[in-house]
Amino acid sequence: MNKLELKEAFEKALKFEQNGYNIYSETAKKTQNPIVKKTFKYLADQELFHIDEIKGYIAAIDADIEFKGDDLEKTKEFFKTTTEEFKEKTELSDDDIKAHEAGLHLEKSAYNFYKEQHDLIDNEEIKKFFKWLMEQESAHYNLIDKSYQFIKDPVGFYSEEERWSVDGG
């Protein structure tokens, strides 16, 4: 991958993150559902963080950079805390459902793009950066999916989570 292709890849990455921020912040503003509001506000903040990380990486591509951001354990802890605050069932509006579906699609598309870039690049440092982005998108996809499943069916969600813990699966 030459420098022009790499620049285009990073520009597309920034667009993915900006689109995510737009969707998530707009959903957080509009929804009446407290779980959706808190979840999408969190995701919007994470997208801003990713934008800063990508811009920082572009500016210092040869420097050692520590990738912070989300990991699956952080998103699990966020979700656990959020759902414990809202044990009673709250209904999803059509907009909330569409926002979850859009978020899942966006995170999956971004993951696939980052994986494609990762596989095209020979430079190990740049591969590491795209792998970090893939991990971020995967963690966010899981958070949106868990939020969606919980709001649709809290009782079923808890029984699945408890069985998961007991079975170790």
The CATH number of residue 8's host domain is: 1.20.1260.10
1 pLDDT more than 60: yes
> Which residues span the domain enclosing 42?
3-167
Contact yes or no for 81/42 (Cβ under 8 A) = no
Is the model's pLDDT at 117 over the cut of 70? yes
Would you say residue 153 has pLDDT above 90?
no
Residue 95: per-residue pLDDT: 82
Global pTM reads 0.71
Furthest-apart CA pair in the chain: how many Å? 53
Q: Is the pLDDT of residue 64 over 50?
A: no
What pLDDT sits at residue 41?
95
Among the listed residues 61, 37, 83, the one whose alpha carbon sits nearest the alpha carbon of residue 130: 61
More confident residue, 144 or 160: 144
pLDDT computed for residue 11 by the predictor:
86
Which of left, alpha, beta for 91 (phi over 0: left; psi -120 to 50: alpha)?
beta
Digit-coded pLDDT (tens) for 14-36:
998 999 999 999 999 999 888 88
Distance CA 103, CA 145 (A): 9
Q: How confident is the model at residue 67 (pLDDT cuts 50, 70, 90)?
A: very low
Percent of the chain past pLDDT 70, that is, above it, reads 69
Residue bearing the bigger pLDDT, 36 or 5: 36
Domains: count for the chain: 1
The pLDDT score that the predictor gives to residue 79 is 46
Q: Each residue of 73-114: pLDDT tens digit?
A: 555 555 455 445 444 444 567 788 888 888 999 999 999 999
Span 38-67, mean pLDDT? Answer: 80
Does residue 42 have a pLDDT over 90? yes
User: What pLDDT, on the 0 to 100 scale, is given for residue 83?
Assistant: 44
Residues 70 and 144: beta-carbon distance below 8 Å: no
